[in-house]
Amino acid sequence: MKKIISIILIAALSLAALAGCAKSGTAASAGSKKIVVGASPTPHAIILKEAAKLLKQKGYDLEVKEFNDYVLPNTALVSKELDANYFQHVTYLDDYNKKNGTDIVSAGSIHYEPFGIYAGKTKSLADLKDGATISVPNDTSNEARALLLLQAQGLIKLKDDAGITATQKDIVENKKNLKFTEIEAAQLVRSLPDVDLAVINGNYALQGSLKVSDAIAVEKDDSIAAEKYANVLAIRKGDENREEIKALVEVLKSDEMKTFIKNTFNGAVVPVK
């Protein structure tokens, strides 16, 4: 009987010890210096995975969660599933906040992706026929950017005050009677066989195995787009002073990361100065 009681006591003590270890492990996890960032696969996730190596030296672990659209990363940020996201330019962010009543802010501008016009059924601007179809992004800020690039190539003319809020309603001259098909940005590369031309976001062009050198025309470095469409690390307002956020921005804007971006993407992604 005494032997049985001893066995029971030993078992009870073992369970208590295991419980203590579990609690200790939980506390350690809760106190870990980990930051979770949502990102588009290309180029954002690639850049973040390289940045994680430098961030590790500062005592932080970086987890990258990849998204293939332009809505879920902001939804996840607002719901606190993420500490930050890195996929959007500041103009899109401003428009998203306005439409959704959110309060997401930029922690820093990291890079710029030149928009390009890519050939579908028509291989050059000179060969573009009357009534040709061009696919453009279906979100407000990126469609405006596409229209500005088409205007820069002399294909259309927009109202003088249209700027980065331009829509198809602002087209005042369309000599070739071009038709525009609005498509989700992530699907623009796939639309190429069905349209004459497509105006594609830099990250989705990369993801679709297109190169900047493949584009018929590309935004110029001194265009309004270079200024207004810098990609940012986005966070919830109030998180600006979090040490891990500051450390991540510092790493992303470092000379080491600028060199990595230039060498990896060959002009398709340009570090912000």
Per-residue pLDDT of the chain (273 residues), as tens digits, is 444 444 443 444 343 443 333 333 322 234 469 999 999 999 999 999 999 999 999 999 999 999 999 899 999 999 999 999 999 999 899 999 999 999 999 999 999 988 999 999 999 999 999 999 999 999 988 999 999 999 999 999 999 999 888 999 999 999 999 999 999 999 999 999 999 999 998 888 988 999 888 999 999 877 777 778 899 999 999 999 999 999 999 999 999 999 999 999 988 899 988
What was the pLDDT predicted at 11? 43
Tokens standing for 39?
């990102």
Q: Do 116-219 and 33-113+229-271 fall under one CATH topology? A: yes
pLDDT at 10: 42
Prediction pTM value? 0.73
pLDDT of res. 32? 62
33-113+229-271: CATH topology is D-Maltodextrin-Binding Protein; domain 2 (3.40.190)
Task: Evaluate whether the domain defined by 116-219 bears CATH number 3.40.190.10.
Answer: yes
Cα separation, 106 vs 210, in Å, equals 28
Residue whose tokens read 């025309």: 217
**Token pair 């990250």 is at which residue?**
203
Query: How do the domains of the chain map onto residue ranges?
Result: 33-113+229-271, 116-219
Q: What is the pLDDT of residue 224?
A: 77
Residue pair 219/226 in contact (Cβ under 8 Å)? The answer is yes
- State residue 203's pLDDT score: 84
> Could you tell me if 41 and 207 are in contact, meaning their C-beta atoms sit under 8 angstroms apart?
yes
Q: Is the CA virtual torsion 70, 105, 239, 249 positive or negative?
A: positive
The residue count of the chain comes to: 273
Q: How many angstroms separate the Cα of 19 from the Cα of each of 7, 13, 29, 31?
A: 18, 10, 15, 19
- Tell me the angle at which helices 140-152 and 90-100 cross, rounded to the nearest 10 degrees: 140
pLDDT at 223: 77
In DSSP notation, 31-85 reads: TS-EEEEEE-IIIIIHHHHHHHHHHHHTT-EEEEEE-SSSSHHHHHHHTTS-SEE
Bridge pairing between strands 84-89 and 230-236: antiparallel
What pLDDT is recorded for position 20?
A: 39
